[in-house]
Amino acid sequence: MTTAIVPTRVQDYPEWFQQVIKHADMAENSPVRGCMIIKPWGYSIWENIQRFLDRRIKETGHQNAYFPLFIPLSYLQKEAAHVEGFAKECAVITHHRLEMKDGQLVPAGELEEPLIVRPTSETIIGEAFSRWIESYRDLPLLINQWANVVRWEMRPRIFLRTTEFLWQEGHTAHATAQEAIEETKKMLEVYKDFIENVMAIPVIAGEKSPGERFPGAMDTYTLEAMMQDYKALQTCTSHYLGQNFAKGSEIRFTNKTGGLEYVYTTSWGITTRLIGAMIMCHGDDDGLRLPPRIASAHIVIIPVVPKPGLEASVFAYAESIAEKLRQKLFYGEPLSILIDKRDKRGGEKNWEWIKKGVPLRIEVGPRDMEAKTMLITRRDGPHKEKITCNIDQAGEESLKLLESIQKNYYQQAVAYRDAHIKKDLKSFEEFKNFFIEKEGFVLAKWCGDPSTEKLLDDLKVSIRCLPLEQTGTAGFCILTGKPATLDAIFAKSY
């Protein structure tokens, strides 16, 4: 069977992923190695992510701010574990100007102290918090920023691992450990609600093992999703930092009895990697499939003009349908409608929008005008299977179909994930054979000994998380055979 994307997922999954991005015109590699240019169709998805999450973040009491892109080296040195974790990924600025020498521009004006291009902002925000917080009355302090970060990437891949990427990072300070822990878990739930209900990506909520924990954190929580090549993708993280960063940045407050204490801090974030997760979770061999709630456009209307002279009337009919549809609200948002008036063949237009993943395509022509009807095609169904709809029912029918597609994508992803979670392995030998012979998630017991995580290195497998929903049953560690009660998800990952 001919597919729009070559190779298919089965033939070459990594190349399929790149081709989906290319054919959907979402992004491309930039002249700077490891960086990407996000094109309008891809960036509009990021804008939707921002819009949905920004509203939720503000509803939980946080305020947006912006902090410098450049961080003095000395700030990172205040927190040893943190800087060690990011040291190999840091981009360093050592000069502040260029000079012409022998016909070439060369760096000049060496800085007294090198600057680090932001890999994450705990240290620079910590310095600000140390000035902003004086007493318990200043707490909790709840701050968020939308920004870009740089982490030097040796094996870049668009929307998965790039040297520069976009993200949101929240940073909060609290008077007690309990408040900070509650904040960490609350934001994980905010992410879970968004990723599952808006992006239709099913996730497993859990705590990271010591080997996978954020550098300098006390606890890291994550939402892990399965992609269609059975690998795990970390969709977000939420960190309880304890007083580690507070001590490094001297963030202290006067408590109600007049004593001086260090605050407890958190940080949490999502990145443009969520777009990569969406592509790999929902895409098929014909391209992108956009869940309606996050789609760049809900519906594209394709006017069909069989002969010259009919353009004006058919276009006007398409506009009248678009106007009716834009009056309808989908989850409180007006329907986003595109009309493709380009001078191209209908079949060519159809395939372009199929590859771009628009949930619904509507075709209208002279016959539809006469009958006051239109033809609707779902992106998640056969491409030639069309639904005839009366124009008066266009709005309600479209809303019903969009809701059906949203649920279908989520249910398909859940079924796929659950079918590829192995739960009955008895020994480390069986465990190794599973990851050598095939792929997937393994749910098994783990003894909790951090040193055992090194046993996974040769398999390129890691503990993705310790699910928050633990069975509590006793068993034996899949790595050592020792008695264990902890449930763990093991997988290869991005």
Total-model pTM: 0.96
Check if the beta carbon of residue 208 is closer than 8 Å to that of residue 220: yes
Task: Please state, rounded to an integer, the average pLDDT across all residues of the chain.
Answer: 96
- Grade residue 98 by pLDDT with cuts at 50, 70 and 90: very high
Q: What is the mean pLDDT of residues 221-242?
A: 98
The pLDDT assigned to 76 comes to 87
Closest C-alpha to 336, from 368, 355, 313, 360: 360
pLDDT per position as a tens digit, 141-156: 999 999 999 999 989 9
pLDDT per position as a tens digit, 30-42: 999 999 999 999 9
pLDDT per position as a tens digit, 289-346: 999 999 999 999 999 998 888 899 999 999 999 999 999 999 999 999 999 999 999 8
pLDDT at 86 over 90: no
H-only helix segments in 333-393: 346-356, 366-371
- Grade residue 129 by pLDDT with cuts at 50, 70 and 90: very high
The pLDDT assigned to 438 comes to 79
pLDDT per position as a tens digit, 443-464: 999 999 999 999 999 999 999 9
The pLDDT assigned to 70 comes to 97
pLDDT at 79 over 80: no
Pairing of strands 360-364, 373-378: antiparallel
Q: What is d(CA 246, CA 250) in angstroms, rounded to the nearest whole number?
A: 6
Residues present in the chain in total: 494
pLDDT at 437 over 90: no
The residues, ordered by sequence, that sit 6+ positions from 213 with a Cβ below 8 Å of its Cβ are 219, 220
Closest C-alpha to 231, from 386, 416, 97, 405: 416
Q: What is d(CA 472, CA 487) in angstroms, rounded to the nearest whole number?
A: 8
Joined together, the tokens standing for residue 459 give: 């398999």
Cα angle 490-493-494, degrees, rounded to a multiple of 5? 165
CA dihedral 298, 300, 301, 306 (to 10 degrees): -160
Domains of the chain: 13-282 (3.30.930.10), 292-407 (3.40.50.800), 421-491 (3.30.110.30)
Q: What is d(CA 310, CA 314) in angstroms, rounded to the nearest whole number?
A: 6
pLDDT at 424 over 80: yes
The pLDDT assigned to 34 comes to 93
Check if the beta carbon of residue 393 is closer than 8 Å to that of residue 325: no
